[in-house]
């Protein structure tokens, strides 16, 4: 991954030195800046230096901000983490019950409604959802702020108010994904013999659905939550831009536009690490969700 990221960035057109120097800089000034950034060295030499840093836990220094990449990521982590957690909780809380109900009332209006919502959730771009919500909730109704982020330590209430709209925006696609998979998994479980047996025993329908159908459908649902982290990371970039949230998504956009190679490399490694770790946790949770699975 590290090699791929490094090489792709070096093959991308654009010169960080020219960007830093400003519009009226001379070619000689740009050359001097390029040398000061170490970009006049061969790609092999640059890679060796960077790899050496990464192996010692040093993500390097941002060309653009002249700060440690790890420090930059640390500064921007809280907004993204808060947004991702809110979105995750909101999505799971809405999508799983919706999926179960749709499976239970398979073919009914709720099921068809959920399917239509899913298509919409997948198809409508995140920024469109964001602008529509801002127009309605913030501009017309005046209930919530249109942009910005307030740190939890600064003001708890404002922290919550600033996260509601971005979380709803980002959760659309995630709800669509989880709800569809929940519906399909529960629907499959509802056709199994043990469900028929449970109903024959006279168990209440709620218990049949939650204790037997949903419990047996939990593994695919957990899997899709893990896979969806990638969608979440992509969505964070757009959502943070529209709502002016100074998180990792916004940092990624700025770093790409400025050709800030160390920051882009650091962010991609960080996102990859998060993705792998979340999916590892999901894999480990299988043993908890399904006692038949043993590692």
Binding residues for other proteins, per CB under 8 A?
Answer: 13-15, 17-27, 29-30, 32-33, 36, 64-67, 72, 75-76, 131, 134, 138-139, 142, 145-149, 241-246, 250-251, 254, 257-259
Q: Would you say the C-alpha torsion 98, 104, 110, 116 has a positive or negative sign?
A: positive
Q: How far apart are CA 155 and CA 163, in angstroms?
A: 12
**Cα(239)–Cα(172) distance, rounded to whole angstroms?**
12
At 68 the three-state DSSP class reads strand
- Considering the complex, what minimum distance in angstroms separates the CB of residue 161 from other proteins? 12
**What span, in angstroms and rounded, lies between the C-alpha atoms of 138 and 238?**
19
* 205, 119 contact by CB (below 8 A): no
Closer to other proteins by Cβ: residue 49 or 257:
257
Helix (H) or strand (E) holding 176: helix 156-190
| Residue with smaller CB distance to other proteins, 135 or 273 | 135
**Comparison of 80 and 91: residue with beta carbon closer to other proteins:** 80
**C-beta neighbour count of 288 within 10 angstroms:** 10
Which is closer to other proteins, CB of 212 or CB of 250?
250
Beta carbon of residue 5, minimum distance to other proteins (angstroms, whole number): 18
Minimum CB separation of residue 77 from other proteins in Å reads 12
Q: Which is nearer to other proteins, 138 or 223 (CB)?
A: 138
Least distance from C-beta 30 to other proteins, angstroms? 5
Which is nearer to other proteins, 112 or 156 (by Cβ)? Answer: 156
CA 129/CA 32 separation, integer angstroms: 45
- Minimum Å gap between C-beta 128 and other proteins is 12
Residue with smaller CB distance to other proteins, 117 or 127:
127
In the complex, the smallest distance separating the C-beta of residue 26 from other proteins, rounded to whole angstroms, is 5
Q: Which is nearer to other proteins, 72 or 217 (CB)?
A: 72
Residues present in the chain in total: 295
Name the minimum Å distance from CB 105 to other proteins.
40
- State in angstroms the smallest separation of the CB of 152 from other proteins: 15
C-beta atoms surrounding 292 within 10 Å: 7
Q: Pick from 234, 104, 231: which is nearest to 177 by CA?
A: 231
Give the closest residue to 64 by CA, choosing from 74, 72, 76, 56: 72
Convert 92-109 to b/e letters by CB count within 10 Å (16 or more is b).
bebbbebbbbbbbeeeee
Closest CA to 287 of 235, 228, 219: 219
């Amino acid at each position: 991954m590290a090699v791929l990221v490094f090489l792709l960035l070096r093959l991308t057109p654009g010169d960080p030195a020219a960007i830093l120097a400003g519009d009226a800089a001379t070619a000689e000034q740009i050359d001097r800046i390029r040398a000061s950034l170490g970009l006049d060295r061969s790609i092999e030499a640059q890679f060796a230096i960077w790899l050496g840093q990464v192996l010692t836990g040093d993500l390097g220094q941002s060309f653009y901000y002249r700060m440690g990449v790890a420090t930059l990521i640390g500064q921007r982590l809280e907004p993204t983490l808060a947004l991702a957690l809110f979105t995750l909780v909101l999505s799971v809380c809405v999508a799983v019950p919706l999926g179960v109900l749709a499976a239970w009332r398979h073919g009914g209006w709720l099921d068809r409604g959920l399917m239509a919502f899913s298509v919409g959730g997948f198809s409508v771009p995140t920024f469109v959802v964001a602008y529509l919500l801002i127009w309605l909730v913030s501009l017309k109704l005046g209930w919530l702020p249109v942009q910005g982020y307030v740190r939890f330590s600064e003001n708890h209430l404002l922290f919550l108010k600033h996260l509601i709209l971005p979380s709803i925006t980002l959760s659309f696609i995630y709800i669509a994904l989880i709800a569809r998979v929940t519906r399909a998994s529960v629907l499959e479980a509802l056709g199994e013999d043990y469900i028929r047996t449970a109903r024959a025993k006279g168990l209440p329908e709620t218990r049949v659905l939650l204790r037997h159908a949903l419990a047996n459908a939990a593994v695919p649902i957990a899997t899709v939550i893990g896979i969806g982290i990638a969608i979440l990371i992509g969505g964070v970039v757009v959502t943070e831009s529209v709502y002016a949230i100074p998180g990792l998504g916004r940092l990624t956009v700025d770093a790409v536009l400025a050709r800030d190679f160390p920051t882009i490399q650091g962010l991609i490694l960080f996102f990859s690490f998060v993705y792998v770790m979340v999916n590892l946790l999901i894999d480990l949770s299988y043993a908890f969700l399904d006692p038949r699975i043993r590692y």
